[in-house]
Amino acid sequence: MKVIKFNSAYLSGKEKEYQDEVFSNKHFAGNGKFTKKCQSLIENIVGGRVLLTTSCTAALELAAMSLNLSSTDEVIVPSYTFAATASAFYRTGAKIIFAEIDPNTLMIDINDVERKINKNTRAIVPVHYAGLPCEVVKISELCKSMDIDLIEDAAQGFGTMLEGGHLGSFGRFGTISFHETKNIHCGLGGAIYINETEDFDRVENIWERGTNRAKMFRGLVDKYSWVEPGSSFYPTELQSAFLLAQLESLDKNLDQRSSLTEEYKKRLKNLRKYGVILQDSALFTRWNHHAIACIFPTYEITEHVRKTLLDRGIHAYIGYVPLHSSPMGKKMGWKPGDLPITEDVSNRILRLPMHCEMTVDDVVRVTDELEEILG
Ligand SMILES: *Cc1c(COP(=O)(O)O)cnc(C)c1O
Q: What is the pLDDT of residues 320-330, one digit of tens each?
A: 999 999 999 99
Q: Which of 53, 54, 57, 158 to mutate to test the pocket of ligand 1 (most atoms within 8 A of CB)?
A: 57
Q: Which of 82, 183, 233 to mutate to test the pocket of ligand 1 (most atoms within 8 A of CB)?
A: 82
Looking at residue 95, what is its pLDDT? 98
Q: Quick one: three-class SS letters along the chain?
A: CCCECCCCCCCCCCHHHHHHHHHHHCCCCCCCHHHHHHHHHHHHHHCCEEEEECCHHHHHHHHHHHCCCCCCCEEEEECCCCHHHHHHHHCCCCEEEEECECCCCCCECHHHHHHHCCCCEEEECCECHHHCCCCHHHHHHHHHHHCCEEEEECCCCCCCEECCEECCCCCCEEEEECCCCCCCCCCCCEEEEECCHHHHHHHHHHHECCECHHHHHCCCCCCCCECCCCCECCCCHHHHHHHHHHHCCHHHHHHHHHHHHHHHHHHHHHHHHHCCEECCCCCEEECCCCCEEEECCCHHHHHHHHHHHHHCCECCEECCCCHHHCHHHHHCCCCCCCCHHHHHHHCCEEEECCCCCCCHHHHHHHHHHHHHHHC
Q: What is the pLDDT of residues 227-249, one digit of tens each?
A: 999 999 999 999 999 999 999 99
Looking at residue 281, what is its pLDDT? 83
Q: What is the pLDDT of residues 198-231, one digit of tens each?
A: 999 999 999 999 999 988 888 888 899 999 999 9
**pTM (2 decimals)?**
0.97
Closest CA to ligand 1's atom 14 = 155
Residues in contact with ligand 1 by the CB-under-6-Å rule are 55-57, 81-82, 84-85, 127, 153, 155-156, 177, 179, 190
